Amino acid sequence: MTRPAFLALALLGPALAAAPPSTQLSGIRHEYQQLNNCGPVTTGRAMSYWGSTQTQAQIAPRLKDDAFDKNVNFSELKPYAEAQGYFVHQGVNGTLPLLKSLIASGYPVVVETWFVTGSDGGMNHDRLLSGYDDSKGTFRAYDSYLGPKLSLKYAELDRLWRGYNRSYMVVVPKSKAGNLKSI
């Protein structure tokens, strides 16, 4: 383990140790994506946890040049959510314990993962993590393509996530930014 990674884990240790063995957040609105809209849908769902009613029909046109734009990345999603009045933490090199700590603290987490789609290989895909269960070794995710009750084994999520530098994004009302920063 590198010295910076060790120091980061040492600094995060007390906060991460507090996560219970399972947690499931509720109150997130599910929406299935239309073509290439996983980023707008997933951001809309993250905002829905805090009361937003925006859908991909409202979000996607503001983020995509045209309907054939295949990827709206975190660097585009973050300013959009901030313009809606949210505080957004965008990070890389996340860890499974960090994801669990964020969820246990009441924050759904957007992760960018690989998505395998049969004959065409695969593509990047955003998912909203809303829970976990240590006894099953799984995260619970809202997936705009596969549905609102996707269960991903810890190792499987990590395998799909690491290709995107374990990037993650947390969207919260500005009034909760201090609490989020403390994690």
Q: Is residue 15 part of a domain?
A: no
Local confidence band at 84 (pLDDT 50, 70, 90 cut-offs): very high
- CATH number of the domain where residue 122 is located: 3.90.70.10
39 against 49, higher pLDDT: 49
How many angstroms separate the CA atoms of 178 and 65, rounded? 34
Number of domains in the chain: 1
Average pLDDT, the chain: 85
Question: Which residue do the tokens 């040049």 mark?
Answer: 65
Domain that holds residue 47: 25-182
Q: Is residue 95 part of a domain?
A: yes
Return the CA Rg of the chain: 16
pLDDT of residue 123: 63
pLDDT of residue 119: 62
Q: Is residue 66 part of a domain?
A: yes
The two tokens of residue 1 are 């383990």
Contact 85, 65 (CB under 8 A): no
The two tokens of residue 93 are 């090199």
Q: Is residue 9 part of a domain?
A: no
Rounded to 5 degrees, what are φ and ψ at 155? -65, -40
Q: Is residue 4 part of a domain?
A: no
How many angstroms separate the CA atoms of 140 and 147, rounded? 11
Query: pTM of this prediction?
Result: 0.85
Rounded to 5 degrees, what are φ and ψ at 88? -125, 125
DSSP 33: -
How many angstroms separate the CA atoms of 24 and 108, rounded? 9
Q: Is residue 123 part of a domain?
A: yes
| 3-41 tens-digit pLDDT | 333 334 434 444 444 689 999 999 999 999 887 788 889
15 against 165, higher pLDDT: 165
Average pLDDT over residues 115-125: 68
